[in-house]
Structure 1
């Protein structure tokens, strides 16, 4: 009578394949393979996807790590405070293209990135664009203010969320995987692109991409 059970030698490749697939799945979960791109179905965000497609060829060099939106996604109406402790929301900035950045003083890459964000604000801020850098230090509220002052970073507006809920809100939609996190947002509050980690925001690569995102002509580069 023939033994119908698979031999040990035949089972080994199956085991290895299973482990390999499981390992790849774990790698994808850990590193996001970019970022999850589940659509929100909001038709107002279709232009943001079109903008992402338009500027995608410019996502190289210092901004090569940007992940472009491939499906319409409306961001949560993030709530935070300004330097005077007054409540602010993402919707308060409607009509502008925004670079929303989450940072903290305990985050070394964040601190290194802040001068570039401050320089970017000085170069591009206006009726069509603004850097909204939101601090999420949860302990000493004076520490981030002191850091900005000592580093002479005076062009950025000061925004903070001591509960760090803005991070959790972005994490819930797969847009905050670590610190720093930056999201390029269109005038309707829709995602254009996201980056997990720092970037040289004052570089020519970044300036060209952001100017294109705001609709400025190439001649202005």
Structure 2
């Protein structure tokens, strides 16, 4: 009886490990996220401070414990305008305790202009976060916009996408669900 219980426990642990297997990066690329570059070795993201609309300070560590899709953008960026509604849809669909879309306006972006941008593009579920001196963007080697970084629960960069993408596509949703885990 004890031997059966131990065997059953080992099988359950093995099944849970299998459920938390690597996401299918190749399927995500084939499904439209063709510019997705996966980190060979996940490395910690920057600890540089940025602010919210009220001036309160934040760091990426505030989202530890969640899978984060971090997006650097600007109000003047045409591709950002194209992808922002998809990021908003992704947050509306999957955002919560296990996953968050974190958008950071980098460079000179007045809060009023961000509010106008969000209203014009129909964005209702994304935060207003600011990196006015581009310190976080520089520390994370962001050289153009938009740039999106996937971060694991421990605060490590998993992958990066340069350019705009359809973040609410089936391929993207599937990838995010794989990263979040079996309950997504």
Task: Answer whether TM exceeds 0.5 for this pair.
Answer: yes
What's the offset of the Cα at 1:53?
4.5
Q: Greater Rg, structure 1 or structure 2?
A: 1
User: CA deviation digits over 1:8-47, x for unaligned, max 9?
Assistant: xxxxxxxxxxxxxxxxxxxxxxxxxxxxxxxxxxxxxxxx
User: CA deviation digits over 1:47-104, x for unaligned, max 9?
Assistant: xxxx894332332222122111111311112421122221111001110000000000
Q: What residue in structure 2 maps to residue 38 of structure 1?
A: none
Structure 1 position 56 matched with structure 2 position 25: yes
Structure 1 position 99 matched with structure 2 position 65: no
TM-score, normalising length: structure 1 = 0.69
Distance 1:87 1:79 in 2: 6
Which of 90, 95, 105 does residue 125 from structure 1 map onto? 95
Distance 1:187 1:90 in 2: 11
Q: What residue in structure 1 maps to residue 83 of structure 2?
A: 113
What's the offset of the Cα at 1:179?
0.7
Structure 2 residues not aligned, in runs of 5+: 1-19
What's the offset of the Cα at 1:194?
0.5
Q: Mean Cα displacement is larger for which, 158-167 or 109-118?
A: 158-167
Distance 1:189 1:64 in 2: 24
Larger RCO (alpha carbons 8 Å, 6+ apart): 2
TM-score, normalising length: structure 2 = 0.82
Corresponding residue pairs, total: 164
Alignment check: 8 A CA contact 2:114 2:128 kept: no
Alignment check: 8 A CA contact 1:104 1:137 kept: yes
Distance 1:61 1:139 in 2: 32
